[in-house]
Amino acid sequence: MTTDQNPSTAGSKPLRADARRNRARLLEVAEAVFAERGTGASTEEIAREAKVGIATVFRHFPTKEALLEAVLVRRLEKLAEEGRRLAAEAGPGDALFAFFDLVLDQSPVKNAFAAALADAGVDTRAATSDAGRAVREALTALLEDAQRAGAVRRDLEVPELTAILVGTCRMLEHLDGHPEAALRARTVVRDGLRAGTGGARP
């Protein structure tokens, strides 16, 4: 279905220099605006913020949904890369939790994209399959390492790990002005992930 039509990564003809520049700026700005105003932000707002005509937005992304999807894919790609980096750098017992913290420390709203896409009726699985797969693979590696190191309970698989990550983001959104409560909430989840390994609490 989704043969790669993104000229920046593959496909037909190389974009003209200005077009390539605009495309990149649009992605940048769209990510910021969606994060700030929510995914309901209007296309016009993004165009204005990027100092570009509306038509340009729709030339690059034939649909608002397509733009949303492109932004999401970008985020997922970054996440997968961070995951791989942590798996290589951090100790097997810490890498998974470091990844968790990394995701949770980002502006909370940014993590709402997957849910927003689901709301919009996008088939998240298919639409983001490549980037999604990359994240899933990184998570799998992190999880298996952590389990081998005894840092995480053994009965735990990637699907619920993903869901727990998303859910915890939502959790923290609701605790925005309450840092101590947010910290305790994180601790609860963390201890839950560790339960049964003998390492939960002193």
Partner DNA sequence: CTACAATCGGATAGGCGACTCCGTTTCAGC
Partner DNA sequence: GCTGAAACGGAGTCGCCTATCCGATTGTAG
Name the site residues for a copy of itself (rule: CB under 8 A).
Answer: 38, 40, 115, 119, 153, 155-157, 159-160, 162-164, 166-175, 178, 181-182, 184-185, 187-196, 200-201
Which amino acid is present at 68? L
Nearer to DNA, 43 or 147 (CB): 43
Q: How far is the CB of 112 from DNA (least distance, A)?
A: 16
Residue matched to tokens 């990564």: 9
3-state secondary structure of 50: coil
Q: Which of residues 36-95 bind DNA (CB under 7 A)?
A: 42-44, 51-56, 58-60, 62-65
Q: What angle do CA 120, 75, 15 make, to 5 degrees?
A: 95
Residue span binding DNA (CB under 7 A) among the ranges 11-19, 82-90, 115-123, 161-169:
11-19
Q: Residue 171 is inside which H or E element, if any?
A: helix 158-173
Instruction: Select the binding partner of residue 174 from DNA, a copy of itself, none (C-beta < 5 to 8 A, by kind).
Output: a copy of itself
Can you tell me the distance from the alpha carbon of 121 to that of 86, in angstroms, rounded to the nearest whole number? 33
Q: How far is the CB of 2 from DNA (least distance, A)?
A: 17
Contact between 32 and DNA by CB under 7 A: the answer reads no
CB atoms within 10 A of CB 87: 21
Nearer to DNA, 48 or 110 (CB): 48
Can you tell me the distance from the alpha carbon of 72 to that of 69, in angstroms, rounded to the nearest whole number? 5
